[in-house]
Amino acid sequence: MYLLQRLDAELDELREMRGDLPETVNQMEEQLHFIEQRIEECDTALKKGRTERALKEQESLVLIEKIEKYRGQQLEVQNNREYDALTREMEVAENTITTYEAEIEAYVEQSEKLNETKVEFAKQLETLDGELKEKREELREILASTGKEERELAKRREAVIKEIDADALNMYQRIRDAKNGKAVAPIRRESCSGCYNIVPPQRILEIKKNDRLFICEHCGRILVSEEIAQETKR
């Protein structure tokens, strides 16, 4: 069990070297993706606006032609009823053109805002991309220097776990989680090295047999004899 504790401690030390870099890189990648999506949304909205604006402009030209046509027809009508009907058609066309002009103006204003937003997102993207490249390189260097050792330790840990009873392993993990990673405490100078409380001589003799687990009555860590700890270090 103490060997497992030592392997976990070494793995913890290697992982501490990475710190929060992996999580930082993940968060920055998510933020980068978010900004890219916002830029894509701006492009989509701008494209849609250009299409709608072009359509309204084309329809306005068609209506202008109709108005000119109606004016010409008014010169040829034979009665007031036909004249008034053409006048109403012209008014409808003019009102529609006015509506289109307002919509076109709105498209122009929206496009200006979207372009400003897109420029701002592009600046953020450039800055974030540069920072992300630095963080990725920093993480890559750490992984390159510790990756092999971490893989070897993990492999040894897997081999050790196979030799440990499932209940004992679960107990070890619970204590490790509760005690900041330190689940096993060797006895040193007749005391628990985890909390420095005295361990009775009879209990020390029982622990030396190494045939079952003993828990410190004070700190709750798994106790092992100093001899076992020394042998494990070899």
pLDDT number for residue 78 = 86
> Are residues 97 and 195 both part of a single domain?
no
> Are residues 152 and 200 both part of a single domain?
no
> Are residues 41 and 96 both part of a single domain?
yes
One-letter-per-residue 3-state SS of 113-137: HHHHHHHHHHHHHHHHHHHHHHHHH
User: Which of 147, 162, 177 corresponds to the end of one domain?
Assistant: 162
Q: Quick one: tokens of 113? A: 């805002």
Q: Quick one: tokens of 5? A: 């504790």
Helix (H, G, I), strand (E, B) or coil at 28: helix
Residue 230 has pLDDT above 70, yes or no: yes
pLDDT number for residue 90 = 96
> Are residues 118 and 52 both part of a single domain?
yes
Contact (CB, 8 A) for 234 and 197: no
pLDDT band per the 50, 70, 90 thresholds, residue 233: low
pLDDT number for residue 211 = 85
Q: Read off the pLDDT of each residue in 84-92 and give the average, rounded to a whole number.
A: 95
pLDDT band per the 50, 70, 90 thresholds, residue 36: very high
User: Which of 104, 127, 162 corresponds to the end of one domain?
Assistant: 162
> Are residues 144 and 180 both part of a single domain?
no
Summarised one tens digit per residue, pLDDT across range 119-151 is 999 999 999 999 999 999 988 888 888 888 888
pLDDT number for residue 174 = 94
Q: At what angle do helices 80-162 and 2-18 cross, to 10 degrees?
A: 140
Q: What total of structural domains would you count in the chain? A: 2
Tell whether 50 is covered by a domain.
yes
> Are residues 104 and 35 both part of a single domain?
yes
Tell whether 90 is covered by a domain.
yes
Tell whether 5 is covered by a domain.
no
> Are residues 131 and 205 both part of a single domain?
no
> Are residues 112 and 196 both part of a single domain?
no
Residue 94 has pLDDT above 90, yes or no: yes
Residue 64 has pLDDT above 90, yes or no: yes
Q: Compute the distance between CA of residue 174 and CA of residue 124 in angstroms, rounded to an integer.
A: 44
pLDDT number for residue 86 = 94
> Are residues 180 and 150 both part of a single domain?
no
Query: What is the domain extent for residue 114?
Result: 11-162
pLDDT number for residue 85 = 94
Summarised one tens digit per residue, pLDDT across range 176-196 is 999 988 999 999 999 999 999
Tell whether 4 is covered by a domain.
no
Residue 216 has pLDDT above 60, yes or no: yes
